[in-house]
Structure 1
Amino acid sequence: MHAPAKEPLRILAPNPSPLTGPGTTTFLIGQDHVAVIDPGPDDDAHLGAIIDAGCGRISHIFVTHAHLDHSQGARRLSHLTGAPVLAFGTATEGRSAINSRLSASGLIHGGEGLDMDFTPDIRLQDNHQVETPDWSLRALHTPGHAAGHLCLEWGDTIFCGDLVMGWSSTLISPPDGDLADYFRSLDRLAHLAPARLLPTHGDAIGAPLPRIAELARHRRDRTAQIMAALRHSPDNAEGLARRLYDIPEPLFPAAQRNVLSHLIALSQLGAIDFQGDLTANSFFSIS
């Protein structure tokens, strides 16, 4: 395995928001063969900065997942540089059966927004190794935030996309996100024990294991709150989010989707029930 030769170059996109934090960080590694990781939005200034930093040597464009703030600029960057786009698949590839049914019920997307036009040139399966004389990256399929989410292992560093962030918990928004998958992906990262994580939003995480444990604990605590609320009275995701969150109204749709991800996971475990077909507005009660 190639060891990282130096720090990756970071280019921050001008798209700050409550969901993206300071904005999308695009990473560049390599000298003669430059890999771009998460090219970000289709923004002239941002893509120009990536091309300038690549010095005509961009050879690969990696996308951790097909949300617009990560993938939208990939196709134009590919046209401008000739480099192929590598990712797990399209925006909906890898969805579970239950999330596919939710999508069919009219729950199209949430959170950052799916890049429905995204299609990679090269599909990366779990453990797929991509190597050049400059670097080696191993693709890790880590669903949870998105069905096709990838992390990229680079020596003792992992580019972790949106799976783990230091400044915020990860949005899990069905039908894109899946809480059970998220827990499994956190466990996988913890087992790999990287020296650091490089999220696409926010600062590097220099102590990954405590942060991963903190995020898992946060989700378990939220599950306990939801179960306590349902013991008091049945409710749907919107009602529970109103009862459990005290946040600005623009953030409420994200909170509602997070609650829905917990409800789906709990129903799959048999801890709670719902009547009829599962939809975003289903009412849940304790089994």
Structure 2
Amino acid sequence: MLADNPSAFTLHGTQTYLVGAGSDVAVIDPGPNEDEHLDALIAAIGDRKVAAILCTHTHRDHSPLAAPLAQATGAPVIGCAALALDSIGPRGDAPFDDSYAPDRVLADGEQLKGDGWTLTAIATPGHTSNHLCFALEETGAMFTGDHVMGWSTTVVIPPDGDMAQYMASMEKLHEREDRIYYPAHGAPVTNPRQLVRGMIGHRRQRERQILKQLGTGAKTIPELVQAMYVGLDSRLVGAAGMSVMAHLVDLETRGTVCSTNDHWRLTD
């Protein structure tokens, strides 16, 4: 079920998934708090019981409709932990939902069962520290939220977004054998391991670009973005800058780069 919230960061909008063909369903990523989307979900659910409302993370294009849907259906809100933070700069995606209040938080590997379906929580921090994916055990499908999208790489924005965690989570997914990914934005991914391998390579290439640029002298983040993202949509410049910062924070933690007065350079 597609929410009507298209943007440069959500593509056509946030996709909500109804899982289950029996007497009950799970709702994954209910989406933004929009009456039309709520009405559409309730119509699609029909007379089936909603066993759980699950959220992959708490950005405002994913979790705000959880409470109204819970009120309408009596279902518990289950999934990621609550998290609401201020960003250190302009966000490239929807900011955090401070209204999210789960009835139950799922730990990595914890399962939720319904009529003919079993969903396993897969902790995938990086895009946000509370991000979960959900694996549908009966079919080999994985609902990937924003961790892996069907049209673009996700943004990683400090302080909560963490590039080292993101890369570790990508490696974690690459080790799995899921058949198909259903992301919150974009088309289904029918070659999951190949796409994840490519995304890992893309991030490593970005890191190499940063190191190459800093090899010619100290630079600010805007200077790095200008050099690295040729032809970038102006609406995405802020997000690109935050992703570059995430790489720099990771490199700084590893002792490879350092900064002085907003200028980054290679360590001596």
Shorter chain as normaliser: what TM range? over 0.9
Deviation >6 Å, runs of 4+: none
Unpaired runs of 5+ residues, structure 2, are none
Superposed counterparts of 1:1-287, under 5 Å: 11-30=1-20, 31-56=22-47, 57-92=49-84, 107=88, 110=91, 111-155=93-137, 156-245=140-229, 246-275=231-260, 282-287=262-267
AA at the equivalent of 2:266: I
What is the percent sequence identity of the aligned residues? 36
Q: Secondary structure at the match of 2:62?
A: helix
- Output the CA distance in 2 between the equivalents of 1:47 and 1:108: 31
- Output the CA distance in 1 between the equivalents of 2:163 and 2:243: 9
AA at the equivalent of 2:30: P
Contact 1:109–1:175 (CA under 8 A) maintained in structure 2: no
AA at the equivalent of 2:76: P
AA at the equivalent of 2:13: G
AA at the equivalent of 1:135: W
Contact 1:92–1:176 (CA under 8 A) maintained in structure 2: no
Compute the displacement of 1:29 (Å): 1.2
Q: Secondary structure at the match of 1:167?
A: coil
Q: Secondary structure at the match of 2:144?
A: strand
Compute the displacement of 1:145 (Å): 0.7
- Output the CA distance in 2 between the equivalents of 1:65 and 1:238: 29
Compute the displacement of 1:108 (Å): 6.6
- Output the CA distance in 2 between the equivalents of 1:161 and 1:109: 21
Contact 1:108–1:175 (CA under 8 A) maintained in structure 2: no
Contact 2:25–2:114 (CA under 8 A) maintained in structure 1: no
How many residues are treated as equivalent by the alignment? 261
Unpaired runs of 5+ residues, structure 1, are 1-10, 94-102, 276-280
- Output the CA distance in 2 between the equivalents of 1:274 and 1:136: 47
Question: Which residue of 2 is the match for residue 97 of structure 1?
Answer: none
- Output the CA distance in 1 between the equivalents of 2:124 and 2:212: 30
- Output the CA distance in 2 between the equivalents of 1:163 and 1:205: 13
